[in-house]
A and B are shown apart, each in its own frame.
Chain A
Amino acid sequence: DAGVTQSPTHLIKTRGQQVTLRCSPISGHKSVSWYQQVLGQGPQFIFQYYEKEERGRGNFPDRFSARQFPNYSSELNVNALLLGDSALYLCASSLALGTYEQYFGPGTRLTVT
């Protein structure tokens, strides 16, 4: 079975631009979460979506937004990019609410110049 997939793998953007990252969860998984990992740190929670509804939001500015589609795939959008947004963006899926194990994709490496 395919794991969590993310696209693109790498991305280079300029300050002020906008970016959209995509994630497809494991087949049958209905919950998707997004995390940001900067160098030397652990992943930091951005959003959780379940059944197309936002279930949780981390301490990130409103420049960050996300959505989940009927097929449970998800997009993360970041507007007005800052240099500090350079990071590895990880998507994780889990079977349903109340299941603790989250399974991560390989991530999208975003570089803002």
Chain B
Amino acid sequence: DQQVKQNSPSLSVQEGRISILNCDYTNSMFDYFLWYKKYPAEGPTFLISISSIKDKNEDGRFTVFLNKSAKHLSLHIVPSQPGDSAVYFCAARAQGGSEKLVFGKGTKLTVNP
């Protein structure tokens, strides 16, 4: 069973517009959520994170929103730039035990000039 789901395999937006990437989860024990960006032939790059006790975290052009009641989080990129084109992974960590991250399947973002 997939505990972290990214239901949109791809997303295309125009440069300068907002990109919104969505992620749903099923495990109530997740206490920390992270977004990673991955370019081809590279490892995932850490982007931004949020604790389950917060509902928003902002870092420059990137903002992550967490809705615990809906078990949903989203990553907003404003304004989107062509260099943002990559695969974005949502990941979650369960409190207690090992520190493994559970990843979604990823969403491929294309920002068109």
Q: Which secondary structure dominates chain B's binding surface? A: strand
B47–chain A nearest beta-carbon distance, Å: 10
8 Å CB interface, B28-63 against A: 32, 34, 36, 41-46, 49
CB of A61 within 8 Å of the partner chain: no
B31 to chain A, nearest CB (A): 9
**How many residues belonging to A are interface residues under a CB distance threshold of 8 Å?**
28
Contact segment of A38-46, A67-75, A77-85: A38-46
Q: A86 contacts the other chain (Cβ, under 8 Å)?
A: no
How many angstroms between the C-alpha atoms of A35 and B36 in the bound complex? 14
A104-B36 contact given A40-B105, A43-B44, CB 8 Å threshold: yes
For the complex, is A24 an interface residue (Cβ under 8 Å from B)? no
Q: With A43-B103, A48-B100 in contact, is A101–B34 under 8 Å at CB?
A: yes
B37 vs chain A, min Cβ distance (A)? 11
Q: Among B13-21, B73-81, B91-99, which stretch is in contact with chain A?
A: B91-99
* 10 A-B pairs closest in CB distance: A56-B98, A42-B103, A104-B43, A45-B100, A100-B32, A104-B44, A106-B43, A43-B103, A48-B98, A105-B43
- What would 9 more interface pairs be, CB under 8 Å, given A42-B4, A107-B42? A43-B103, A45-B102, A56-B98, A56-B99, A58-B100, A100-B99, A102-B46, A104-B36, A104-B44
